[in-house]
Amino acid sequence: MLLEAIYHQPKSQYAYAYDHETLHIRVRTKKDDMDRVSVVWGDKYDFHEETIRTSEMNVFARDTMFDYYEVEIKPPFRRFAYAFKFEKGDRTVFWNETGFKEDSLHSGGVGMLWSPSGMFEFPFLNTIDVFTPPEWVKDAVFYQIFPERFANGDASLNPPGTEAWTPDAVPTRDNFFGGDLQGVIDKLDYLEELGVTCIYFTPFFEAFSNHKYDTIDYLKVDPQFGDNETAKRLVDEAHARGIRVMLDAVFNHSGYYFPPFQDVLKNGEKSRFRDWFHIRDYPLAEDPLNYDTFGFVAQMPKLNTEHPEVKAYLLEVARYWIEDIGADGWRLDVANEVDHRFWREFRDTVKKANPDAYILGEIWHNSLAWLGGDQFDAVMNYPVTNAILDFFVKEEIDAAHFMGRLDAMLISYPRQANEAAFNLLDSHDTPRLLSIAEGDKERMKLAALFQLTYMGAPCIYYGDEVGMDGGADPGCRRPMVWEEDHQDQELLSFYQTLISLRRSHRALRDGSFRFISAESGSSVTAYERADDMSRFVIAANAGTKQEKIELSDLGQGTFRSLEDDTLYELKNGKLTLTLVPLQAVVLKEQ
Ligand code: ARE
């Protein structure tokens, strides 16, 4: 036993409430080190030999160095004191806050177990503190729309110099193609047929640029896109088709032409808005060293979200679009650079307007500090994006590392955060998936298959489904290709089939997930997804060689390939599969 590898932290993602009566307890050990790991627990106000219980833990995640054990416990009085018990061969070690004790339950060394002092503690499960993301997110398939580039439904709104909407149009930093909200309304049937259930809009409030991240008026749709009445109609018509709508909150910074900032530019230190921003030097001039900005972008002055007026203004914006217009959630731009206190108040405001609204932070890294239940429901899961791309698309890591990177994310958050995660493969900030795959459609499909059969809500970037490509911003922001003879119809029906598969089987959305093959040096991965209705085994070969894998520990049953109806019967819980390069199989239990 390597005791130095053992890790646990009370009241963290290692010990949290999953719902009003259930606690999840986790512990880390060295990989393949233990025969058995358990939690020994009891109520701290009634803690003695007869009342102490032992709950065995299971490995729920592994990476290249560690195993992570988990157990679900429902303590009768919603509180408990606990220690861990590690067993290997004839050695037993207990661990609580006072340290490790070598012994058996019957000798003096573990006398500590009969007293609650020194135990780890979960003092009380207060329902209001339970992190509860909206249920609907688990079932959602998101579709990201960059409004200037999706569809032009009202040519009368085109800004001056609007360029022609053609399949080979070239987006630049500052050109316009005339996309608008009426265009999206006109294409709702297309989205419904594709099967997506929530649109994620990049900003459509009044702003100067084509991407609209430099807001002028947060309470007004940009006139180039329509007006607030069009937005309301869009939300209503989307809802009528079972499609939700999430908007982009750019609260870290405003745009250069935001009237309060213009006032500071004009009136300097005398401006009544001077404290709305973080000004370093007067007289104020357009220079990112003169005031705090997003990055070093002078057009994006950072807002002072600690200021009561700024806070009141932005919280009213948050309320208005949810309550009055009916939006179903907010994606928060540059979420990690805004203060935590602001986000706590933001959550209270938004959830008061609609308890079911989804709050999604744009953070590209491990984000536990925002996922305790008092701020966001989820973050954009770029660490998972990168693992999927590195394995399936770039062939840079083997299956063992792929599993390790995904499982490292699973242990980073409480389970409800993983269930509501926002899993994207590309966005308006990255090259498109097909371009990352250097045009290799088969690799793109492997990545999409994984994304759409993994836990967390998948998001498709507009146009990927019809084979659009494009490099880094602005290349990834071409106008949507609508001419059918320029669309990849085969890819479109692949996406449609996958989305419908996910939507038809709960097991693929919030069923259990486990890797059943992820060998070091291998390019093949296989995993199981299951609930009490159905069970799937999915395997994919991301390599350039044919590989044979033997899957074990699958219990009883017969599986059918969804592609060609081939039947696979389990023999002693085992299944052998041979996969040619870039082949994937989806097997469903009969
Ligand atoms: C434009 C040009 C850029 C140019 C820049 C500066 O396109 O090529 O470098 O101007 O002049 C919006 C527009 C962009 C625009 C930008 C600035 O969409 O087109 O860029 O404004 O005007 C980090 C942040 C993350 C941020 C990304 C872009 O953490 O919040 O950088 N993403 C949001 C939006 C963007 C938006 C803004 C923020 C600003 O999604 O679309 O840009 O409102 C690592 C880091 C991450 C980093 C990531 C990407 O992983 O860890 O922190 O994200 O790389 O760089």
ipTM, two decimals, is 0.98
For residue 37, the domain's CATH number is 2.60.40.10
569 — phi, psi (to 5°)? -100, 135
Of the chain, the percentage scoring pLDDT greater than 70 comes to 98
Q: How far is the CA of 212 from the centre of ligand 1 (A)?
A: 12
Do residue 311 and residue 270 come from a single domain?
A: no
Residue 441: CB atoms within 10 A of its CB come to 16
Q: How far apart are CA 378 and CA 365, in angstroms?
A: 12
473 lines ligand 1 (CB under 6 A): yes
Please, are residues 439 and 469 in contact by the beta-carbon 8 Å criterion?
yes
Please give the Cα distance from 492 to 495 (Å, whole number): 5
- 429 Cβ below 6 A of ligand 1: yes
CA pair distance 34, 20, nearest whole angstrom: 31
Buried b (16+ CB within 10 A) or exposed e, 240-253: eeebbbbbbbbbbb
Q: Which domain holds residue 164?
A: 144-252+306-508
DSSP 315-376: HHHHHIIIIIS---EEEETTGGGS-HHHHHHHHHHHHHH-TT-EEEE--SS--GGG-SSSS-
- Please report, for residues 94, 112, 119, 235, the alpha-carbon distance to residue 105 in angstroms, rounded to integers and kept in the order given: 9, 10, 15, 62
Give the number of other Cβ atoms within 10 Å of residue 78's Cβ: 18
**521-540: average pLDDT:** 97
Closest Cα to atom 11 of ligand 1: 297
Alpha-carbon distance of 203 to 187, in angstroms, equals: 18
C-alpha of residue 39 to centroid of ligand 1, in Å: 45
Six token digits for residue 521: 């040096």
The pLDDT of residue 178 is: 98
Query: What would the pLDDT profile of 254-275 be if each residue is shown by its tens digit?
Result: 999 999 999 999 999 999 999 9
Say whether pLDDT at 562 is over 90: yes
**Tokens, residue 226:** 């329509």
Q: Quick check: is 325 in a domain?
A: yes
Q: Does residue 486 sit in the same domain as residue 357? A: yes
Query: Both tokens of residue 266?
Result: 């004009």
Ligand 1 pocket check for 8: Cβ under 6 Å? no
Q: How confident is the model at residue 49 (pLDDT cuts 50, 70, 90)?
A: confident
Do 542 and 525 contact (CB within 8 A), yes or no? yes
Which of 67, 70, 328, 362 is flagged as catalytic? 362
- Residue whose entry in the numeric block shows the structure tokens 């509501």: 420
| Residue 263 CB partners (closer than 8 Å, separation 6+) | 271, 272, 273
Mutate to test the pocket of ligand 1, among 211, 250, 476 (most ligand atoms within 8 A of CB): 211
The alpha carbon of 429 and the centre of ligand 1 are apart by a number of angstroms equal to 7
Beta bridge mates, 199 = 143, 245
Residue at 202: amino acid letter: T
3-state secondary structure 373-387: CCCCCEEECHHHHHH
CA angle 491, 493, 498 (to 5 degrees): 95
Same domain, 357 and 247: yes
Residue 134 inside a domain? The answer is no
pLDDT bracket for residue 581 (50, 70, 90)? very high
pLDDT tens profile 227-245: 999 999 999 999 999 999 9
Give the pLDDT of residue 108.
Answer: 46
Q: Based on the domain organization, do 368 and 497 belong to the same domain?
A: yes
Q: For residue 365, which atom of ligand 1 is closest to its CA? A: 51
164 and 213: one domain? yes
Does residue 139 form part of some domain?
no
Length of the chain as a residue count: 590
Per the annotation, the verdict on 362 as an active-site residue is: yes
Distance between alpha carbon 515 and the CA centroid of its chain, in Å? 19
CATH code of the domain in which 526 resides: 2.60.40.1180
Domain count for the chain, please give it. Answer: 4
Helix (H) or strand (E) holding 53: strand 53-56
Q: Are strands 524-530 and 80-88 parallel, antiparallel or unpaired?
A: unpaired
Rounded to two decimals, the pTM is 0.97
- Same-domain status, 242 and 257: no
List phi, psi (to 5°) of 364.
-90, 0
Q: Are strands 457-461 and 142-145 parallel, antiparallel or unpaired?
A: parallel
Peptide bond into 283 cis (omega under 30): yes
Average pLDDT, the chain: 96
> For residue 142, which of 480, 456, 585, 466 has the smallest C-alpha distance?
456
Is residue 494, in this structure, part of any structural domain at all?
Answer: yes
CATH code (residue 260): 3.90.400.10
Q: How far, in Å, CA of 299 to CA of 255, rounded? A: 6
pLDDT for residue 112: 61
Structural contact between residues 36 and 29, judged by C-beta atoms closer than 8 angstroms: no
Q: Separation of 105 CA from ligand 1 center, angstroms? A: 57
Domain C-terminal end among 129, 153, 174: 129
Pair 195, 496: CB distance under 8 Å: yes
- Under DSSP, is residue 213 helix (H, G, I), strand (E, B) or coil? coil
Determine the pLDDT at residue 107: 47
Six-digit token pair at 297? 């972008």
Residue 104: what pLDDT?
A: 54
Q: Which ligand 1 atom is at minimum distance from the Cα of 252?
A: 43
What is the model's pLDDT at position 102? 85
- For residue 392, give the DSSP letter: I
Whether 535 and 553 map to the same domain: the answer is yes
Write down the pLDDT at residue 493: 98
CB distance 502 to 141 below 8 Å: yes
369 lines ligand 1 (CB under 6 A): no
Share of the chain above pLDDT 90, in %: 94
Give the mean pLDDT of 549-555.
94
The domain boundary, picked from 73, 102, 129, lies at 129
Q: Name the pLDDT band for 120 (thresholds 50, 70, 90).
A: very high
How many Å apart are CA 382 and CA 364, to the nearest integer? 5
CA distance 291 to 296: 10
Flag whether 137 is in a domain.
no
Q: Give pLDDT tens digits for 284-321.
A: 988 888 999 999 999 999 999 999 999 999 999 999 99
Average pLDDT of the residues in 498-508: 98
193 is a catalytic site residue: no
Position 387 in a domain: yes
pLDDT, mean of residues 133-148: 98
Q: Check pocket membership of 477 for ligand 1, CB cut-off 6 A.
A: no
Residues 28 and 115 in one domain: yes
Residue nearest to ligand 1 atom 5, measured at CA: 297
CB of 110 within 8 A of CB of 104? yes
Average pLDDT, stretch 558-587? Answer: 95
Domain boundary among 453, 487, 508: 508
Output the six-digit token pair for 296.
């070093």
Distance from Cα 544 to the centre of ligand 1, integer Å: 35
Q: Is the CB of 364 under 6 A from ligand 1?
A: yes
- Residue 13 counted as domain residue: yes
The answer to whether the CB of 391 falls within 8 A of the CB of 385 is: no
Ligand 1: which of 205, 253, 363, 473 to mutate, most ligand atoms within 8 Å of CB?
473
Q: Do residue 527 and residue 393 come from a single domain?
A: no
Q: Which residue has the tokens 């102490």?
A: 52
CA distance linking residue 67 with residue 34, whole number of Å: 9
Q: Please enumerate in sequence order all residues whose Cβ is within 8 A of that of 42, keeping only pairs 6 or more positions apart, or say none.
A: 48, 51, 52, 53, 80, 81, 82, 116
Nearest CA residue ID for atom 48, ligand 1: 364
> What is the band of 106 on the pLDDT scale with cuts at 50, 70, 90?
very low
Asked whether 154 and 182 are in contact (CB, 8 A), the reply is yes
What's the pLDDT tens digit per position in 13-44? 999 999 999 999 999 999 999 999 999 999 99
Report how far ligand 1's centroid is from the alpha carbon of 138 (Å). Answer: 28
**Plot region of 438 (φ>0 → left; ψ -120 to 50 → alpha; else → beta):** left
Does 200 sit in the ligand 1 pocket, CB within 6 Å? Answer: no
CATH number at residue 216: 3.20.20.80
* pLDDT tens-digit map of 192-227: 999 999 999 999 999 999 999 999 999 999 999 999
Does the pLDDT of residue 103 top 90, yes or no? Answer: no
Same domain, 374 and 314: yes
Same domain, 458 and 355: yes
Q: 253 vs 92, 213, 288, CA distance in Å?
A: 56, 9, 12
Asked, for residue 136, whether it belongs to a domain, the answer is no
Residues 70, 333, 465, 510: which is the catalytic one?
Answer: 333
193/47 same-domain check: no
User: Quick check: helix, strand or coil at residue 59?
Assistant: strand
